[in-house]
Amino acid sequence: MTAKTRLRLRMQVVLHMVMAFVVALLMAQLWLFTVTLEAMESREASVSIVMAALAFSALACAAVWALIRFFLRAEAQQM
Amino acid sequence: MPDSVRWKEDFPVPSAEDSYATRREFTKFLGLTSVAFLAGTCAAVARKLWEQVTAKATTAVAVASLDEIPAGGSKLFRYPTENDACILLRLAPEKFVAFNQNCTHLNCPVHFEAESSQLVCPCHHGFFSAEDGKAVAGPPRRGLNALTVSLRDGQVWVQHDS
């Protein structure tokens, strides 16, 4: 196995880990979106619920971009 | 000709026409998906806040006179805008309740069944309690939006909760 192949396999593993995290965060964002829609349609639902959902969604979005940046930077350093 | 080359002739793969996505492009797509979810959540929050603001601005309106609806009867009206269908119920001589008429499942209009004292959605057989608007059976999971009802000057007044 050449050094280049080893590197490619290692980056593949890192990519899979990053993808697992990103997919989990996207699922969480989808759930938060449905919670916000439910709260939007219900007059009884408190505004604090939708504000909390928005804050967590923003946090998840930032985490997704941070993970992507981490992966792309790691890839660039290895190449 | 070796087999490894022959299969390529039997089953040619036009690789030049394939569109490859690089890792960078794929991760960018995931990032944009996340941004799209965030934008959707922002839009829903904005609408919720807007509804809160406009609901506070609404005032009480008289929708019926006391002797207009018999006990066990109902009346349809529009509140706070012409696009918001509502239903007023007289459950007892001195007991009035009012709800938004849209079913919380898929927005079909509900109607009152005095025999069972329930509001019924004919589209998918959703049932709501006429007492408090809570969903009791069928697909709806959320109760009907209730309006505050008051009686004065021989009239029935409704208003959103502030």
Confidence bin at B56 (pLDDT 50/70/90): low
Query: How confident is residue B18, by pLDDT bands cut at 50, 70 and 90?
Result: low
What is the value of ipTM here, to two decimals?
0.86
Give the single-character DSSP code of B109: B
Q: Quote the tokens at residue B124.
A: 């998918």
If we measure between CA atoms, which residue out of B151, B114, B148 comes closest to residue B132? B148
Handedness of CA B34, B36, B39, B44 (dihedral sign): negative
pLDDT at position A7, please?
A: 81
- The residue behind tokens 């964002």 is A29
Edge-to-edge strand ranges of the sheet holding B118-121: B111-113, B118-121, B126-129, B135-137
pLDDT above 90 for B120 = yes
Range from A37-46, A63-72, B37-46, B49-58 carrying the lowest mean pLDDT: B49-58
State how far the Cα of B136 lies from the Cα of A54, in Å rounded to an integer.
31
CA dihedral B71, B88, B101, A43 (to 10 degrees): -130
C-beta separation of B35 from A47 below 8 A: no
Q: Give chain A positions within 8 Å (CB) of B32.
A: none
Provide CATH code, domain B61-159.
Answer: 2.102.10.10
Q: DSSP letter at B16?
A: G
Can you give the pLDDT at residue A51?
93
Q: What is the pLDDT of residue B2?
A: 58
Write the CA distances from A42 to A39, B7, B103, integer angstroms: 5, 61, 12
Alpha carbon B87 to its chain centroid, in Å, reads: 16
Residues of chain A contacting residue B27, judged by C-beta atoms under 8 Å apart: 18, 22, 68, 71-72
Q: What is the pLDDT of residues B69-92, one digit of tens each?
A: 999 999 999 988 888 999 999 999
pLDDT in tens, A11-65: 888 888 888 999 999 999 999 999 999 888 877 788 899 999 999 999 999 999 9
Cβ(B76)–Cβ(B85) under 8 Å? yes
Helix (H, G, I), strand (E, B) or coil at B75: strand
B15 pLDDT above the threshold of 70: no
Boundaries of every domain in chain B: 17-57, 61-159
Structure tokens at B156: 């029935």
pLDDT value at B3 more than 70: no
Q: Of A48-57, B9-18, B47-56, B116-125, give the lowest mean pLDDT range.
A: B9-18
Q: Both tokens of residue B97?
A: 């309740």
Cβ distance of A61 and B47 shorter than 8 Å = no
Is the CB of A43 less than 8 angstroms away from the CB of B160?
yes
CA-atom Rg of chain B in angstroms? 28
* Strands of the sheet with B95-100, listed across from one edge: B61-65, B155-159, B146-152, B95-100, B85-92, B74-78
* Tokens coding B76: 């349809």
pLDDT surpassing 90 at residue B133:
yes
Instruction: For residue B54, give how far its alpha carbon lies from the nearest alpha carbon of chain A (Å).
Output: 12
Chain A residues within an 8 Å CB radius of B142? 38, 41-42
